[in-house]
Structures are given as structure tokens and as C-alpha cells.
Structure 1
């Protein structure tokens, strides 16, 4: 793409005039807004007509990957029959939609409610009020049917049975590159799978079978925080639908698998595709104004445009402050094969100088994973569980020694401590990461058993032996590992345990403490900075800075001794 003037540009080598061939309104997504200037929320100043034209071309030709020409197959069903088939395949019953505000109560008893500028009339039976009476301004949920046919022109929407959070949290968008013949199967698969599991969702598909040329023909909306919990269901659905997906995914989304892309929702009723295409178009215009004439300069300007909005140009599917935790587990990896047998390790050979040569054609990452799987298998099999099956621990080498008859000195064995450095917490963190890579249920269960054991054990240890401001030996490590294990396993309830720990950690700053990496603040600061990226713990930045300043203030510099 090359800009020639304020109205003309080349797109795939073809001259384009921004004043001509604008897309029809139905091609734009619900909530479409004119492009924003680079710098979030700023109205476009003195923007040439070229920029909206660029946005449209980027969106239609690159983002949704719609072809320039081509007609739909002749044997496709008509719109009415297609909608009827989608509705019949929808296994939902409807749910209570949050976020509505009561506007007025009519004399006949009907109630007007408003959400996102839309006003709907319903009966009191169709409302679920929060605190307060049936009066204007009250927050409420509205009973919605299993489907919405006219809400967004060109789309059929299905609403999950499970109630959405109120207020709703950040969302994920999953884009399915469906062929028209797969739309009905997609609707049946998604609604039956997710409703059966009680997972809140919404999904939309194109309502015209002849328009299934877009890489976003089906879009599934899920809560962002639920991905770890929903991942197995997504993989199950994908395995059923993969044969009827085209391989491409929308531009700038993350390809989870061929034909399935993912992006975090930009919120505020914005289309992800138009939002990102707007950033690109305005960056290209800025690059033209700056006189950038080579690809490297244009790419640098584009990367800067993403960074100005707090987004990572290397991961354009993420929102500001977010991390990429989205991937499918490989079906061929695991702690056991389908028959329950241990996997056969690949054979290493030894060089003449004593070094080792890895097996042929085996990437080092695969070798490391195989080693981790074998270690994880041994840890799961060697764990000791309490009577309730909730907590587990391991036996390990202690710092003491035992003198056997005859004077033979052997190392002593003891139960592992609760810490991250040499205790059950570190084992649990390893197994949680292994669970995320392999999907082995034993690894997940044992990881949660390890962290469940660490909490009461830390309370039993004498206060002199606990280092609150230590990552490897103390409570900072417990807080960080608990958060990570909860994130990796989908156990969000562990965040409440972290909240209580952080209060104790904050209070410990005023007490005497160590400064080193193992037992003190030098090791704790990186973990606290990692935790502060979670919005609810943003206050940890101030604590991290204070601890860093303490290290600088108390450092003994060369020549002072």
C-alpha cells in the first residue's frame, strides 16, 4: 500500500480513489464509528478523506479477507430458510441481560428500559431488579430470548443461557472462518456445548448464506477471564468444526488454529477490526506526511502508533496492559498416552569428548518439554495427600544427616517446606505451567494441592522463620505463585487469598527485613512489579518503588568501607 496524495493511493498495486467505491452500510459492523486519530479517543483533526477510504479497504480486503469478485454458489438456501435453520439449531432458552436502566413505568404497567442508547418496552415480569423499587433510574436485568434477528443488520445473534456478569468484564472475540454449509452446525455446537457447561456467551453469524466470504463469518464473545476455564470446550468445538473452516483468520487477530482467530475486545462498542484498521490508516497517513519513503520507516511509524495507545505492535490482538495467555494445547502432548503408558524418551548419543548429541530432527523445545513431562509424571505419582484429598506434599532431602551403623553418613529426608525456593510451592508452580502446556488433569490437581498446603504451612512456621518481603523464601513468593497458579489453572478464587497476603506484605515494610535476593527485597521487587500489572493490585508499584529506593539508599558504595 502506498499513498500518492490526499485522495489517491495504491492498494496491491491498483490505483484507488478514496472518494469512490465506499462500502455499503451493511458491510460495516454494529457500533462502527469514524476513525479516531492516533492517540486514543482524540477526534481526527484535519483528516483527509483518504483515511476513511484506507480504513474501509484495510477492513474489507485485509481484515475480513473478502474477495474482490466471485459469486455465491447457486444451491445455497434463501435468507428466510437459512434463518429458520439457524434458529432450530440454537439450543438456548434465553437469559437475563444485565446493564439496563429503568426509564419509565406506563399507566398500563409496561416498563421502558434503556441500554447503550436502545430503549425497549417490556412487562414487570420481564425485569429482574437490583436493590430498590420499580422506579426510574433503577438498575435491572431484562429477560432476552435465545436469539436476536434484527438487532444488527446482516447477522443472527444467539444469547447464552448463563447470566452475564454485572457489570460485564472485558471480553474476548473468537473469529470462525465458516463456510455457509457449516453455519448451522456451528450454531448447534456452540449453543449446546457452552449452555451445557453453564458458560456465559454470545455469538453471531451472517444471516445471509451468500455472504460467507468473510474470515469473521462467525464471532463468539466470551469473558476474557474465563479463557483458561473455557479452553477445553473451545478445543472440543474446534475439533468438530475444523473440517468446515477456511484456514485464514482476520488480520491482526491471533491464529489459535487454522480458521480460528482471537482478539481482546476493545470495549466501548468499538469494532476490533475497524479500530485496528483505523490505527494503521492514520499511521500510514502520518508516514506520508513525514516523507517516509521506505518500508522500514513506515513500519516504525506504525509501531509508534500502536505504542501511543498503550498497545504492543508485536501483539496487536491484545489490549493495553494485557498479556498473551491464549493458546490451544497440543493433542499429542501429555503425561500419558491414551493407553496410560509412559511415553518413550528419545535417545541421546554421546560424543567422544563426553558431550551429548540430541536425537535427529528434534527441536530443543520438544526435548525440554519431554523432560518436563517425565519430571511432572514422577511428581504427581510421588505426592502425599491428606485424608480429604485437598492438600499434598513431597518428601525431599533435608539439610541434616543421619549416621547409620558402621559410621555411614547418609542425607536425611523430610517433608518439603512451603516456600517457592525449595518447597511445595515451587513444585506447584511447575505443575501448573505443565498443565497449561499439556492439559494433564493430574498436573492441575496436584498443583492446586500444593498451593493449598503452602498456606496453612506458612501459618504454622514461627514468625522468625518467615520472610514477608522475600520472593524465594517468604510471602511475596507465596502471593506471586498463588496468583500464577490460579491464572494457569483457571481458579480465579485464589486472587482473594493473594489480597490478604498483600496486606500482610505491605504492613511488613515498617519492620526489619533483609535486602538480598533470596530472603529479601531485591528478589521481591520483580515479583511485585509483575503483580502490579493486574489492575486490582496496581498499588504495588508504589511499594516496589519504595523498596527500590531503600536498596539505593542503603547500598555501600566502593570506597565507603
Structure 2
């Protein structure tokens, strides 16, 4: 180990040391033990110390030397002889953070509080509590209110807070950006930076000196963010680079990583000191060792950097061989800022949701995922639990990527493209436990991910997806001979659609994909139960097969229709006819809908039923979408009338006083999904009133939810980021309502029909 350290000592010194070593070469110690540097004496005379001072050291020379190094070499503190007038941020209304649950009482009236998965500390005066006793207890709720900026935290600085609450209890690594504005431009820089961060939904803390004379410091403006947001902030600043160049001085604090002249980057130290204090202290300790023990100056300083956990070659970072926070992989790329234009309110909210989704991404190299809730009732009542997101289209990173890809086409924001690409990279690397499922398995991940990679225009990513398909096709050829799930969501029908879509996307794989699709189609035919009223596919011990899109005949019909189109054969057309006959058998004319057909609803083909679904997964909305797709696939006009009747039912329910659509604005079973199907129907059948109805649903949601969109998990406080049950799906629906250009439907497998062109 000693040999390794000596080899490290013999390497070429880092640039910062080459710059600083000449200035430090005059270090000396006299007979009284006084250190001399730059003609100044640093004595061992006792200092008056504050008991809680982090930088305290038993040797007073360290404290004196550290303070000098900080002022002279780190911050280059020079008072402006002609300071600018003081600038304050605009006076704005206090930030209203809504209701937060109290986790713990802290000292001096502060509380630890939580909202969703975000936990933070709020000081006395930043929250309101009207309960009894007078101080909020654990489990009670407070309303958090906080000023947008303050002079109260530290009289030497003005502090600005981001609109997005910072997860101060869970973000255990912070990074900082140092900006050195021209004094006359400080207000412009602070205001523009805070506006851009708020628009991107990135939580932050920013400070600048409260005395204009100090605005010539190299660290005049300091921006603090969580390390997990470093990638997004790097990107944001990179796209402001040209604007910043004309407003920054060409100087940055020592040891920071220069991103631009006047813009430096660094990691927050682990020991509670400021970045500059930690480096100056390590340098002071090394200088003292060299002066007192005659050690080589560089070796003494490097030894202290190592002891203090500072990366010698990258002193802007803490020593971290595993790069746990990905800080070694951050890239600063300059580009043009995204243009800002006035857009409709639904699109504004879709863009805000997109920024929020990007801000919440957790990155590892070029891949990203999210923490998202799921729900489980194995122990009794349905409960939410947080987990790392899977790869799927339904509630995984492919679904989130689908939203971001379409959003990027309507709003030129580099963050959306970058995060969509990262989500697709994660999906490709994710080991799914299920092979067959289109919405929750590996087949759906690679076929739908390939479509999105192509839509992004990322040829390399598309090639990676194509390479992942070969082993998948081998797995599908080796499916067990026993009966398989049959539906669109999890089974043979969805797999057939995915494979035939793949054949259209990847011609080289088309022959094999079509052969496997036809083999699965034959298995689907073999598993059918034949009746005088048509074919159905009961599962899980049920007596009757279902009618709806995700789990019933409406989804299975799409598989047979696509087989009939792409692999012509009489057997597929006959299977399609039998499948639709069963669906038609159960149509309830007076409701314009189809029943659930769960065991509690019916057991026999002649049972009278009345309990109908009203969602994408069950009932008229999903069946309407199926018939619209069948109309496009086959051109047979009788599907038009059935789709129209079902869509009339959907529209009537959405405007009813008591709607069956639910209250969470999600796609699988919520008004957003039903209204989104109306948008597709309006375009294909020429019914603008349906589109207006959908936009009214969006307006109601915007007014009711006020940005706090609920999930479709069915549990209080459950938060999902996914497409069909969560925030990505809500954002997609608002995008379709507000976009000026057509947006493809995501409520059918990607590429199944030309619906994306309407």
C-alpha cells in the first residue's frame, strides 16, 4: 500500500497544485514556531474559540492559516471600491406548500415533516398549526408556508429558495455551483437562474452577499442542489452558457471544477464544513506538517488531503472510488436554450409534469429510473409501498419514456429527450421476470422500446434494442406447452400484437417474428372455449371470459385482426368473427355498454347482468378504442357504428353528475383515460364535440387537482410515476389536450394502427 501511495506521489501533480505551489514555496517557520507565508506571521498565540465552531483545531496556527488561505487564495476576497446599489429579489407571495404530516418535533420550534416521499425540516414561522395542543405532535398535519427569499438565516447573505420543496432529510449528498457575476449583472444572473430552476421543477437553495462590496468575491453566488439533480443542473446551465458568458467574470474559486469562465462546480464536504473551509483546512494542516517536520511540501499536503477524504486529482470532489453519486460522469455540454412560447394551460401543465418527472429521475451513468409507489393487499387492506421502477410500458420506465418522447416533440426541451433516452436505457438493462406480457414483460419492453427509440431518432439505441430481440424470440419459441395467459395485457394476444409490430419495425426479424406470432395465434385458438354465442377465454377458474380491452375479447380481437391482415388465412378471420360475436352477445343496449362478467356478476351465458365497467381496461371506453382500431385495420364499416355507440356512452358519463369514471386523472381507470379515448374517436369519426368534452375534463382536473395529481393505485397518498396509473399518463393526456399538432395515442400498443396520425 505504501508503494502505491509513493507511486501516486510521483505522478504529474494536478493543475491546481502547479498553480499554487509556487506561491506556497516561501513557507517558513522561525525559532518561536511562528509560520511565515506571503510576509505574514501565523503565531501559536491562543485564539478565542467558539465552542461549536467546526473548524476548531488545537494548534491556533491552523486556524489563522486556514482563514488566510480562504480569503487570499480560495475566495479572493476583495471589497469593491465602487459597489453597486443593493439588489433584492422581487417581493412575491409566500410559497404555499400545502399540508404536511409531522414526523418529529425538533429544537427551537422546528419540525421534521413529510409530504408524499419528500421529507424536510421547517423552522418556526414556516408552518401554520391550528390544532390542540399548541405545538404540532407527531402524526398531525401542518400547513407549510415559506418566503421565496430571506435575510434572516445569515445576516451576511440573501437566501433564495426554489418553488419545488427540497428533500432535506433524504438527499444525503449536495453539490454546489459557484458563479462570479459582474457586480452590475448579479441581479440578472440570480433572477434568470432561479426562474430557470423553478421552471425545471428542480429544488435548490441559492445565496449571495448582502453587502454589494463583497460581490467581487470569486464565490459571490452559490447554488446548492442535491447531487441527484447534478445532471439536470449541468444541462440547464449548459444551455444558458452563451447568455452567462456575457455576464460572468472569468474567475472561479480554487479547487472547483471550471465549467465556464466564472462558473465552478464542487461537491459538498461530508464533515459539515463549507467547501472552501474543508480544502483550506487540509492545505493548512499539510503546510504545518511540512514546516514543522521538514517533509516534502507536496507530499505533506497530499497526505492531509487523503486523510480529510478529498480527491487529490479532482479536488472539487470528495474521495469516492465507487462514484456513488455519479459525479465523475457528469458532462457539461453547451447548447442553445429552449425557446419559450405561450401555450395552452393543459400543455403548460404537461410541460411542468415533464420537468418534474425529469427532476425526480435517479441516474446511474446513462441510465435512469424512478422511485414509484405500488400497492399490495396480500396482508389485508390495500397498502402503498415505494419501490424502484421496473421497465414496463404499464407502470415502468418504457411508459415514462413514451410520455417524454411525445412531449419532446411538442416542446423543445433537451431534458425530455435526455431523460427519455435514459429511461429506455434502463429498460433495456432491466431483467424482467415475465417474458410474454406486452404491458409488463420483456416482450413489451423491447418491442415498445424499439418504437420509441426510433421515434427519438437514436439509431444506436434502436440497434441495441434490436440486438436484445434475438434472445427474446428464442425464449418465446420455447414457451411451455401448458395453457398460457391470453389477454392483451399479459398474454398471447398482446404478444402477437407486439411480434407483428416488431416485424414491421425490423424487417430482418420479420420472418421469425411472424412465424412465432402465428404459432401463438394457434395456441390462442386452441385455448378458446367455443359456444353458440362465440368464443371466450375464461381464466383463473372463472366461468366466463371477459369482454373488455385489457383482459377480454376486445383485446384478443385486435390480435386476430392483425394476424388476418399481416398473415392472411381463413382461420384468423373466422377466429376474429367468433371473438366479436361473444362480445356482441353481452352488449346491453339500454346502457350502451358491456358488463364486467366477473364471477360475482355472471356464471352462465344466459344470465341477466347490469354491472358495467367504464374504463380503458373494462367496459365501453376500451371496447370503443378496440373498434376504432379494428376499423382502421380492416376497413369494415360496421365497427364504426359500434365505436360511435360506445363513445356516446363514454361522453355521457364524463358529463354526468355522478360519473363511473372515477376521480383520479389516470389512464387505466380514470376520467383522463376515457377522455383520451374520446379525443381519438373525435378525430377518426369527425365529432368535434367529443374533443371539447375531453378538454373540459382536462380543465376540471386542472382546477380540482391544482398540480397535486393523484394516482390510480387506489390508496391514499400513493404516488405513481408510471404511464397507466400515474403522473406520466396524466401528463400525456394533458399533452394531447393542449398540443397544437397531433399526438399519437398511447392507449393501444405503439404502432398498431395509424392512430398517431390523427
If the length of structure 2 is used for normalisation, what is the TM-score? Answer: 0.37
Structure number with bigger Rg: 2
Q: Name the structure where helix makes up a greater proportion of residues.
A: 2
Q: Name the structure where strand makes up a greater proportion of residues.
A: 1
If the length of structure 1 is used for normalisation, what is the TM-score? Answer: 0.49
